[in-house]
Amino acid sequence: MQISCRVQAVKPSPTLSLQARAKALKAAGEPVMSLAAGEPDFPTPEHIRAAAVRAMEAGHTGYAPSAGVPPLREALRNLYERELGLSYGDDQVVVSCGAKQCLFNAFQTLLDPGSEAIIPAPYWVSYPDQVLLCGGVPVIIQPPADGFGLDHKALAEAITDRTRVIVLNSPCNPTGAVLSGSDLDAVARLARAHDLVVISDDIYDKLIFDQKKFESIVQRDPEMKDRTVLINGVSKTYAMTGWRLGYAVGPREIIAGMRKVQDQSTSNAVTFVQYAAIEALASPPEVVEKMVRVFDRRRRKIVELMSAIEGVSCALPGGTFYAFPSFAGFMNKAKDIPDTLNLSELLLDKERVAVIPGDAFGAPGYLRTSFATSMDVIEEGAARIRRFVEDYR
Ligand code: PMP
Ligand code: GLU
């Protein structure tokens, strides 16, 4: 029996497997403090759950058009018009089983074997592996030395005649960093000059702090609308990770390709979930604002606690529910801990605290600590990490 080279080239998602492991240990009665979560710790709001029940009762339980039910496609077109001032035709929208499937469909549509996709590090774990599943080549560029923004020179130098795609993710999982206007302008300039497509993963666009507002590359440079796929979903904004509902808008030919990939793989996203998504997208702003206020308090606390540990430094994330402290100072001294995979294993084994290793995001020396959990878990989790670092011999 022979497993394909494409599948041999990829690994299981480290975020999914670590989160599953932390949950299993907790279920088995272990006193695990999990700072690993990649999802809000709030339940899906009641009005959205009720809309799903109503849709089921109304008989929306059969196959739907693969690209999404018409009222949801219309709601999405209105959403982009209202929020970003962008108008898309009905054939420029596709609804999928999560933003993750939108990303997968987009890469499948744009990459041939040997095509290159530029991915700025630190990056979300699934981008490189999804590119590999197309036979494509992930080209990782490093952040500037002074932070988590975009290194414009590194980006320009990474472009070759095989480059097809640049991936953007702002606010970023795992760093929480928000790209600046000048970062977006630099990407737009290069994409237009080299005829590249931008895949913009906007899944954390509503989880931004300090009253800042998300800005899209297509708003800054309207010509980018012809070469940008905007990807989003209801998972993070409305605490709906398990419902599996994402969406994309973009140029007609690309969306047509993404629809074909979906026709021939999963078909439509769950039909009654699509009706619940219409309700979610129509939620009053307080629904998200309330969640952001809670995340904001936790964000400040986790950064304060991490920064107080010797050998650890932690920037304040501008968005998401992740803080991304550097343990480089500690690891320089702890010579027998070779990488953050090993460090996070030790933290789980010895202190029963779950984090995600920075190495999984192309960022050695860092740990991703999620604050999508209660203040008590944040405080106890940070205290255990501190004890581990201070007691380390
Ligand atoms: N992009 C990023 C950056 C993410 O963190 C996630 C989280 N799962 C996704 C995409 C996928 O989200 P979903 O498939 O749940 O919509
Ligand atoms: N995106 C979340 C995370 O990074 C969920 C897990 C996943 O889909 O990989 O933790």
Residues 16-71 have pLDDT tens digits of 988 888 889 999 999 999 999 999 999 999 999 999 999 999 999 999 999 999 99
Range name among 16-25, 231-240, 308-317, 349-358 with the lowest pLDDT average: 16-25
Please tell me whether residues 332 and 355 are part of one structural domain: yes
pLDDT at residue 393 greater than cutoff 80 = no
- CATH assignment at residue 9: 3.90.1150.10
What phi-psi label fits residue 239: left (phi over 0), alpha (psi between -120 and 50 degrees) or beta?
left
pLDDT of residue 203: 98
What is the Cα–Cα distance from 380 to 370, expressed in whole angstroms?
Answer: 13
With the most atoms of ligand 2 within 8 angstroms of its CB, the residue from 15, 207, 366 to mutate is 15
Ligand in closest contact with the CA of 126: 2
Please tell me whether residues 10 and 89 are part of one structural domain: no
The response to whether residue 241 sits with its C-beta less than 6 Å from ligand 1 reads yes
b/e for 361-387, b at 16 or more Cβ within 10 A? bbbbbbbbbbbbbeeebbebbbebbbe
- Provide the 3-class DSSP secondary structure of residue 59: coil
The response to whether residue 15 sits with its C-beta less than 6 Å from ligand 1 reads no
**Residue 200 — φ and ψ, nearest 5°?**
-105, 110
pTM of the model: 0.97
Which residue owns the Cα nearest ligand 2 atom 4? 38
Listed residues 260, 281, 302: the one ending a domain: 281
pLDDT of residue 17: 85
Span from the CA of 16 to the centroid of ligand 2 (angstroms)? 6
The response to whether residue 232 sits with its C-beta less than 6 Å from ligand 1 reads no
Please tell me whether residues 168 and 270 are part of one structural domain: yes
Ligand 2 atom showing the smallest separation from residue 124 Cα:
4
Q: CA gyration radius for the chain?
A: 21
Ligand 1 atom showing the smallest separation from residue 15 Cα:
8
pLDDT of residue 303: 98
pLDDT of residue 336: 93
Please tell me whether residues 168 and 62 are part of one structural domain: yes
The response to whether residue 92 sits with its C-beta less than 6 Å from ligand 2 reads no
Confidence of residue 146 (pLDDT cuts 50, 70, 90): confident
Ligand 2 atom showing the smallest separation from residue 38 Cα:
10
Please tell me whether residues 52 and 159 are part of one structural domain: yes
The response to whether residue 173 sits with its C-beta less than 6 Å from ligand 2 reads yes
pLDDT at residue 316 greater than cutoff 80 = yes
- CATH assignment at residue 210: 3.40.640.10
More confident residue, 14 or 320: 320
Confidence of residue 174 (pLDDT cuts 50, 70, 90): very high
With the most atoms of ligand 1 within 8 angstroms of its CB, the residue from 102, 129, 202, 236 to mutate is 236
Listed residues 259, 281, 303: the one ending a domain: 281
pLDDT of residue 135: 96
pLDDT of residue 221: 97
Please tell me whether residues 295 and 326 are part of one structural domain: yes
pLDDT of residue 324: 98
- Mean confidence (pLDDT) of the chain: 97
Average pLDDT over residues 191-219: 97
What is the number of structural domains in the chain? 2
Average pLDDT over residues 178-204: 98
**pLDDT > 70 in the chain, percent:** 100
Q: At what angle do helices 14-27 and 340-351 cross, to 10 degrees?
A: 10
pLDDT of residue 322: 98
In 3D space, the residue among 223, 22, 237, 38 whose CA is nearest the CA of residue 126 turns out to be 38
Listed residues 263, 281, 299: the one ending a domain: 281
Please tell me whether residues 55 and 18 are part of one structural domain: no
Contacts for 194 with CB less than 8 Å, ≥ 6 apart:
159, 163
In 3D space, the residue among 317, 341, 318, 319 whose CA is nearest the CA of residue 327 turns out to be 341
Question: Domain range holding 378?
Answer: 5-43+286-392
Instruction: Check if the beta carbon of residue 72 is closer than 8 Å to that of residue 95.
Output: yes
Ligand 1 atom showing the smallest separation from residue 234 Cα:
16
Instruction: Check if the beta carbon of residue 250 is closer than 8 Å to that of residue 80.
Output: no
Please tell me whether residues 177 and 74 are part of one structural domain: yes
Span from the CA of 235 to the centroid of ligand 1 (angstroms)? 7
Please tell me whether residues 166 and 69 are part of one structural domain: yes
With the most atoms of ligand 2 within 8 angstroms of its CB, the residue from 10, 18, 19 to mutate is 19
Confidence of residue 185 (pLDDT cuts 50, 70, 90): very high
Span from the CA of 101 to the centroid of ligand 2 (angstroms)? 13
pLDDT of residue 19: 87
Please tell me whether residues 187 and 297 are part of one structural domain: no
Confidence of residue 252 (pLDDT cuts 50, 70, 90): very high
Please tell me whether residues 139 and 21 are part of one structural domain: no
Average pLDDT over residues 99-117: 98
Please tell me whether residues 202 and 274 are part of one structural domain: yes
Average pLDDT over residues 273-297: 97
